[in-house]
Structure formats: structure tokens, C-alpha cells
Amino acid sequence: MASSEPLTSTGYIKHHLQNLTFGQLPDGSWGLAHGAAEAKAMGFWAIHLDTMFWSVILGVLFLWSFRKAAKKATVGVPSGFVNFVEWVVEFVDDNVRGSFSHKSDLVAPLALTLFVWVLLMNTMDLVPVDWIPELAKLMGIEYMKVVPTTDPNATFGMAIGIFVLTVFYSIKVKGIGGFAAELTMQPFEAKNPIVKILLLPANFFLEFVSLVSKPVSLSLRLFGNLFAGEMIFILIALLFSGGAVLAVAGGVLQWAWAVLHIVIVLLQAFIFMTLTIVYLELAHSHH
């Protein structure tokens, strides 16, 4: 599969921002897109194979490594990777205990999974932008984005899953009537039954917007921060083709941005986990 993009700065940027997309081609057959226009024409049922591949690989890496650490854990003082895993588990557990006041066997494991999984996906942004794509080219794969959280499909997918859990537990804990009352009886309240009925549409509109905005903000916050970080790495990489002086400047800027980006990588994983805990806390709480 050959790229149709010219070897210019614009073509370089577009190439690095293009996912490896599988879907229905214009002739009706199914295959890989040969450019952004063809990928866009594939529509809703197109699949970003690189996003799926790296997210699954990193998820399996998380499960394998933490299971291995759990099997090695003993009653003695932990060391090495086991100590690190225990520290991560305690860190997540402390955050769950501080933000979630109800009893649930789901919240802590979910928070741990989200934190580590999102952190691993974010960390892929620290890999030099040309290393894996160039290796993929040698294997005949033209496009390869290695940071799943720079794909809004991945972040929206996780956010929608959390949204479904939030609605499920809101109905399970409060009942359908309680959940409906939560959407229609606030923020405006009245003792007069007629006024209360008149306020229902306004209350429902405000609460429904607030409810739907949760997965939107959760996904866009993660996507926006990681996408911006990826774009800066790509722009810095362009300096390496501008001569020796710009190459040295690019190396310094790349190192500096990578150090700063470590904070963003950690912070966005923590925020995603924390907001999930808060949303589930609200789902379990009666108004």
C-alpha cells in the first residue's frame, strides 16, 4: 500500500495523523484506506486497526504484568516490580476510599483498570514519532498511529461505557422513579404542584444536558490533551529535516517537551479515573 501524500511538511503531518483504517471501499469491496479521503468515505463502520491493536496490546500487557505481580506477592516486604504494583494499587484504593462512600465490588477494580490502561496508552506518546511508523512501513503498513488516546473513537468508547454504568447504577440504586425524579425535580423546586409541573421541562432540559455532557467532556478532555501533545511532537520532528542547527534545536525541544509531557500523561490518566469514581458516586447517592 503506497502513500499518495507528497513528502512536504503538510504531507508529513497528515501522514502521521492518519489512522490505519479498514472499511468498505468505493468499489464495494472491504479493505484498507489509501488516504484520508478514502477513510472518511468509509463512514461509520470503518475501524481504526492501529487504535484497536495498540489498545488491546496495552490492555493485555496490564493484565499480564499485574497478574504476574499478584502471583509473586507474599506476606513479606515486597521488592522490585511487585512493590511498584502494590504502590499503584494502594494509590488507586486511597482515591476510591476518598471519593466513593458506598459499597461496591466494581468501582476499585474499574478505577485501577482505567488508570493503568489509560496511562499505558498515553505513555505511547513519548515514543519518538517516527520509530514505529517507519518500522511499520518496512512491513508494508503505510499508516500507524501508536497512541490510542489521540483517537476520539477510543476515548468516546471508554466514556460511553462509563456513562452506561452511571445510568445503570442510577436506576438500580434509586429506581426508575427516583432516577426520573432526579432529572425532573431539580434544580428548580416548588411546593405548589402546578408550578412543579410547569418546571418539569426546564429541569429536564438542564439535567439532561448535564448528564449527557459527562461522557462528552470526559472523552474530549483526554483526547484533546493527548492529541495536542502528539501534534507538538510531530512539529518538533519536522525540525530535524531543516539542517544541523535546527536538528540540534529539535533534539533539545523534543527532550524538554517529553519531560513536560510526562506530567500530562500522568495527570490525564488520573483525571479520567477520578471523574469516573465521582460519576459512580453520584449514581449511588440519593439527592
User: Catalytic residues, which ones?
Assistant: 217, 221, 225
Give the bridge partners for 22, in sequence order.
32, 47
Residue 221: name the closest of 185, 274, 277 by CA: 274
Q: Which three cell numbers stand for residue 283?
A: 449514581
CA distance 143 to 135: 11
Cβ-based neighbours of 250, under 8 Å, separated by 6 or more: 236, 237, 238, 239, 240, 242
Is residue 158 within 8 Å of residue 226, measured between CB atoms?
Answer: no
Grid cell for residue 152: 476520539
Rg of the Cα atoms in the chain: 23
Helix (H, G, I), strand (E, B) or coil at 48: strand
Q: Which long-range contacts (CB under 8 A, 24 or more apart) does 136-140 make?
A: 140/1
